[in-house]
């Protein structure tokens, strides 16, 4: 048994004190430094106080990367206080990171019922849906976010991503420019088009991005990548015409190291 009151209240000690549902007692004494005595007065924590302790522990666990422990503590906090707001958004993020997308979706729905006018939540949900390739729903959620907050730059970028994925490039460009410069918007579209295999259109946007702002590094790097791919394809075609490759033999580019297509800085969106 801990010798001092403060030993019961360490935030990392989830199993002791009021953190665990099966033990909701806290010591009350005249001094926080007073020794624990057999006749010390005890009082039961209220459900709200127990939820506070669990939620605080969950935040501590999450801050230290202990996501499973954080989930457990957030769920315990909810068990003490079913009406407590703010738990569902964190559980949505944590369940998503753990790959439990069904639970994450349920928590997002709960969070949005609690705070239907929270633009950040709608933006996070839009990105979650985008990652699941639910593009119709993702667009609706992103539009809810920008309707609630017209200056929400992350939501405008996410909406641009969704629209570009649906090949509505003009609308995507307009969405991007609500958050980033025209050069960055062209850069974003160029990278998305390159991923979709539209190399010619990608080059046009990347070249325009470089023309508007020559200091951007990504358009030049991605153009070089596309040019190398084109050169590789030409060399393979020439090699195949000269001497057909036997089935199973390595291609002309097997050992060649290509630059990796980097994530565009302006496209990447931190949603947490």
**DSSP sequence for 120-189:** HHHHHHHHHHHHTT-HHHHHHHHHHHHHH-TT-HHHHHHHHHHHHHTT-HHHHHHHHHTTS-HHHHHHHH
Per-residue pLDDT tens over the stretch 90-100: 999 999 999 99
d(CA 144, CA 150): 10
d(CA 97, CA 90): 11
Per-residue pLDDT tens over the stretch 8-43: 233 343 332 333 333 333 323 333 444 444 444 445
Q: Is the pTM above the cut of 0.85?
A: no
Tell which residue, 45, 42, 40, has the closest CA to residue 18: 45
Per-residue pLDDT tens over the stretch 151-186: 999 999 999 999 999 999 999 999 999 999 999 999
Per-residue pLDDT tens over the stretch 33-88: 444 444 444 458 888 888 999 999 999 999 999 999 999 999 999 999 988 889 99
Exposure b/e, 102-126, CB count within 10 A at least 16 = b: ebbbebbebbbebbeebbbbbbbbb
Share of the chain above pLDDT 70, in %: 69
Q: What is the pLDDT of residue 110?
A: 96
Our CA angle for 180, 181, 186, nearest 5°, is 95
């Amino acid at each position: 048994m801990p010798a001092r009151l403060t030993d019961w209240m360490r935030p990392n000690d989830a199993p002791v004190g009021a953190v665990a549902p099966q033990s909701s007692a806290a010591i009350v004494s005249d001094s926080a430094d007073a020794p624990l005595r057999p006749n010390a007065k005890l009082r039961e924590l209220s459900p709200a106080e127990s939820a506070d302790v669990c939620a605080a522990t969950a935040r501590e666990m999450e801050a230290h990367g202990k996501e499973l422990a954080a989930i457990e503590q957030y769920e315990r906090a909810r068990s003490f206080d079913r009406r407590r707001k703010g738990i569902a958004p964190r559980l949505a993020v944590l369940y998503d990171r753990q790959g439990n997308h069904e639970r994450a979706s349920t928590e997002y729905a709960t969070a949005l019922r609690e705070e239907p006018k929270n633009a950040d939540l709608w933006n996070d949900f839009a990105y979650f849906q985008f990652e699941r390739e639910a593009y119709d729903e993702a667009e609706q959620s992103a539009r809810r976010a920008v309707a609630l907050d017209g200056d929400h730059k992350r939501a405008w970028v996410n909406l641009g991503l969704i629209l570009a994925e649906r090949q509505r490039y003009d609308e995507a460009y307009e969405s991007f420019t609500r958050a980033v410069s025209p050069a960055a918007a062209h850069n974003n579209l160029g990278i998305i088009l390159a991923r979709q295999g539209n190399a010619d259109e990608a080059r046009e946007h990347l070249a325009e991005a470089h023309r508007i702002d020559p200091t951007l590094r990504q358009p030049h790097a991605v153009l070089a990548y596309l040019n190398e791919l084109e050169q590789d394809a030409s060399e393979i075609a020439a090699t195949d015409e000269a001497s057909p490759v036997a089935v199973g033999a390595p291609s002309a580019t097997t050992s060649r190291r290509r630059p990796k297509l980097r994530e565009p800085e302006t496209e990447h969106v931190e949603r947490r």
